[in-house]
Structure 1
Amino acid sequence: MKIIRTQKSYATSDGAGVSIKRIAGFDGKSLDPYLMIDELKSDNKSDYIGGFPPHPHRGIETFTYIRKGGFEHQDQMGNKKAIRSGDVQWMSTGRGVVHSEMPLVDESNGMHGFQIWLNMPAKEKMRPPRYQDSTGSGVPALENDQHAQLLALAGSWRMDEHVIEGAILGLAGEGAIADVILPPNSTIKLDVSSHGKVLIYIHSGGLLATEFSVGTLLEVAPSEALVLSAGEQGMGALVLAGQPIGEKIAHMGPFVMNTQEQLQEAVRDYQMGRFGDIV
């Protein structure tokens, strides 16, 4: 595994005062095809109880993964779903979505989840929005002889001689996302050679014989096999892969387009009610 660079998450807040740790890459290069990784992890409900009241998006895809706790999603397309522990949800916003994400409080377990933004290619940014979740199907998983697990959240994955398709397919930039769970002193090997970008975000434990701690993002070379080994604490990490889109980005809050003019149009369309309303 050849590490190209590292990036540390930083503390911030979003929505109605929700405390998160964020990795941002709105330069269109460092994370491409991804734009942002937000991690919400707290046992204190005051850190997340405000949730994310109704707000718009255009030009991106949001991918939500819940490890503990839950959120209720609602949007102007008529979707209203409880996304709980082990669930994933994908929303390809296209020309416009208005949605809300409000916490489902679990007093005993707290909250741990991720929202990941992917960029959409210019030719698809103004198509109709799409929605999908895993609440009815579950998330496929693979386990090796060391009891290391790969939870295939999205896209296609290859572990040893096994190939598995994730709960959701068709992400922008051929996005593929997995949660890799390693018991203490175990190893997992993944073939990531079909991807142009491979990222690892450590969310628990740590990599064996490295200084990389929780909240660290690693970019690794896709040309080499991805071998992850855990130390005495075990390790949990999101692995994100895809094909860079390589297009110019114009970003303003919840909108990601290709030009400033397109951003202004998005703001006008939202202000004029063209995105619709949550009913």
Structure 2
Amino acid sequence: MKVISQFTARPAMDGDGVNIRRVADFMNTRFDPFLMLDEIKSDDANDYIGGFPPHPHRGIETFTYIRKGGFEHRDQLGNVKAIKAGDVQWMSTGSGVVHSEMPLADAQDGLHGFQIWLNMPTKEKMRPAIYRDSTDEPLPETENDSGAKLRALAGSWQLTGAAPIDAPIQTLAGAGKIADLMLASNGSAQLDLHEREYVGLYLYQGEIVSQSAPQKTYSAGQYLIVDSQQLITLKAGEQGAGALLFAGQPIREKIVHMGPFVMNTEQEIQQAIADYQAGRFGSIKA
């Protein structure tokens, strides 16, 4: 595995006082087609109880994955869903959505989840919004003989030496695909992702030991961009490891970002603000 760039998630706060760790790049778009990853991980309800009250989006896709606990999702399209451990949710916001994500009242074991933003190409930014989730079917998993389990969150995946699997959500912007790779103590995995130009991984648990010289250890909270044209080999340390994997095709379009809006020009950003303030995004029904 050849590491091209390395980043570290930084503490941040969003929503109504929710403590998160974030990796984002809206300026240089080094994660293209991905823009941002937020991780929420806490056993203290005070870190997330305020949740994410109603707020708008335009021009992006939001992808949510829950490993522990859960949120209740509501939006102006009429969707009301409990997104729990093992579920994913995808909103291709297009011309606009208003949604809220509030912690489930009956969740007693803390919260661990992720929200990922993807850019949308110019030609799709103003199309109608699309909503999908995996609450009606379990996400597919595959294993190898070396202590690796891969859960497909979006797109199609294959571990070397294991059967290919297809996630229920297949149409992310920029041909994006996302997986959760879980490695046992000293477990290892290989993936061939040469069909995508961009590949990244976010280590959320344990350590991964680089197998190329000089040997290097990466730990939880680090985000790596790796060479997609080389076979990707991952080996966990004694404590095992967990990592989100990302792959996609860069969109390579100029973006202008302001809060929940990602467009191509400043004029489009100002129009998004005006449309939201005028109530053109709609509202969440009680």
TM range (shorter): over 0.9
CA–CA distance in structure 1, aligned partners of residues 235 and 106 of structure 2: 32
Give the C-alpha shift of residue 167 in structure 1. Answer: 2.7
Question: What are structure 1's unaligned runs of at least 5 residues?
Answer: none
Contact 1:69 1:105 in 2 (8 A): no
> Mapping of 1:1-279 within 5 angstroms?
1-105=1-105, 108-160=108-160, 162-208=163-209, 210-279=216-285
1:126 aligned partner, one-letter code: M
Structure 2 alignment gaps of length 5 or more? 210-214
Identity %, equivalent residues: 58
Q: Please state how far the C-alpha of 1:163 moved relative to its aligned partner.
A: 2.1
Length, aligned pairs only: 279
For 2:212, the equivalent position in structure 1 comes to none
Aligned residue for 1:184, secondary structure, equals coil
More off after superposition, 29-38 vs 153-162: 153-162
Deviation at 1:105, TM superposition (A): 4.5
Name the aligned partner's letter for residue 129 of structure 1.
Answer: A
TM-score by length of 1: 0.98
| Residues 232-256 of structure 1: CA deviation (Å, up to 9, x unaligned) | 0000000011000000010000000
Letter in 2 for 1:168: I
2:219 match: secondary structure: coil
Change (3 A) 1:211 1:62: same
Distance 1:274 1:28 in 2: 31
- Secondary structure of the structure 2 residue equivalent to 1:223: coil
Higher mean C-alpha displacement, 79-88 vs 138-147: 138-147
3-state DSSP of counterpart to 1:261: helix
**Secondary structure in structure 1 of the residue aligned to 2:158:** strand
TM-score, structure 2 length as denominator? 0.95
Instruction: Letter of the 1:134 partner, please give it.
Output: S
Aligned-residue offset at 1:8? 0.4
2:69–2:108: 8 Å Cα contact kept in structure 1?
A: no
Q: Per-residue deviation at 1:138? A: 1.5
Instruction: State the distance in 2 between where 1:129 and 1:106 align.
Output: 30
SS of residue paired to 1:38: strand
State the one-letter code of the partner of 2:49: I
Q: Is the deviation greater in 107-116 or in 134-143? A: 107-116
Partners in 2 of 1:145 and 1:126 — Cα distance?
46
Structure 1 pair 132–28 and aligned structure 2 pair: CA distance change class (3 A): farther
Following superposition, the deviation at residue 28 of structure 1 comes to 4.8
Give the 4+ runs in structure 1 shifted more than 4 A.
105-108
**Inter-partner Cα distance in structure 1 for 2:18 and 2:132:** 24
The alignment partner of 1:138 has SS state of coil
When residues 30 and 169 of structure 1 are mapped into structure 2, their CA distance, relative to the original with a 3 A threshold, is same
In 1, the alpha carbon distance for the partners of 2:138 and 2:118 equals 22
Residues 72-104 of structure 1 show CA distances to partners (whole Å, capped at 9, x for unaligned) of 000000000000000000000000000000001
Secondary structure at the aligned position of 1:95 is classed as coil
Residues 147, 188 of structure 2: 8 Å contact kept? no
CA change 1:105–1:237 in 2 (3 A) is farther
CA–CA separation in structure 1 for the residues paired with 2:187 and 2:239: 10
CA contact (8 A) 1:151 1:180 kept: yes
